[in-house]
Amino acid sequence: MLKNKNSDDTIDSLLESKPAKSYSIVAKIFHWGFVLVFVYGISKQVDDLKQLADNSLLRFEMAFAAVFLLMLLARLIYMKKTQTSALPSNTSHLQKGAAKTVHYGMYVCLASISISGILIGTLYWANIKSGFVIEAVISVHEFSFTVIYGLIAIHIIAALYHRFLQDGVWNSMVPFWKEQSKLD
């Protein structure tokens, strides 16, 4: 019988890997809270620039974007200062780099969505309702949404991949459909 050395190495590296650590309750609240706030923001989004003629809606949208941006900054600072990756120690550098790129990409897109939304509201308030400047800012806003949807899809697919691997990454952030880690 022929043995596949690569298969043995993979199994050995899985057994030697430290189990994924769990994120703190604050990190989980930030994560799942952002999911809820983002979904809420999408459900209440402005469909037509003319809707901003309603001053109460304009103020709400501007305040929502500003609070969202502050929450995003607080989350970034908290995560950078207190949390480390839940990826197992034997995760490839390529996969770690991809995970970091997706996470930072989501931060950039969410910040871009908030900042461009504030700029759109400010321009509209300043009676700049058409022209190159507002159209450019709207394009950035829309592009950021397109990119964030793709990054969220990659993030969810990666989470499901780790759920399938049963390497503990899923359990580190997700409070349901718990896995029995291969490393336990």
Residues 1-41 pLDDT 10s: 444 444 444 444 444 455 567 899 999 999 999 999 999 99
- ∠33-37-38 over CA atoms, to 5°? 115
- pTM (predicted TM-score): 0.83
Q: Could you count the other beta carbons within 10 Å of the beta carbon of residue 28?
A: 15
User: From CA 162, how far away is CA 121, in angstroms rounded?
Assistant: 40
DSSP 53: G
Tell me the pLDDT band of 182, cut-offs 50, 70 and 90: low
pLDDT above 70 (res 119): yes
From residue 111, alpha-carbon distances to 3, 139, 141 in Å are 51, 15, 10
pLDDT of residue 134: 98
Nearest-Å Rg of the Cα atoms of the chain is 21
**What's the confidence (pLDDT) of residue 19?**
53
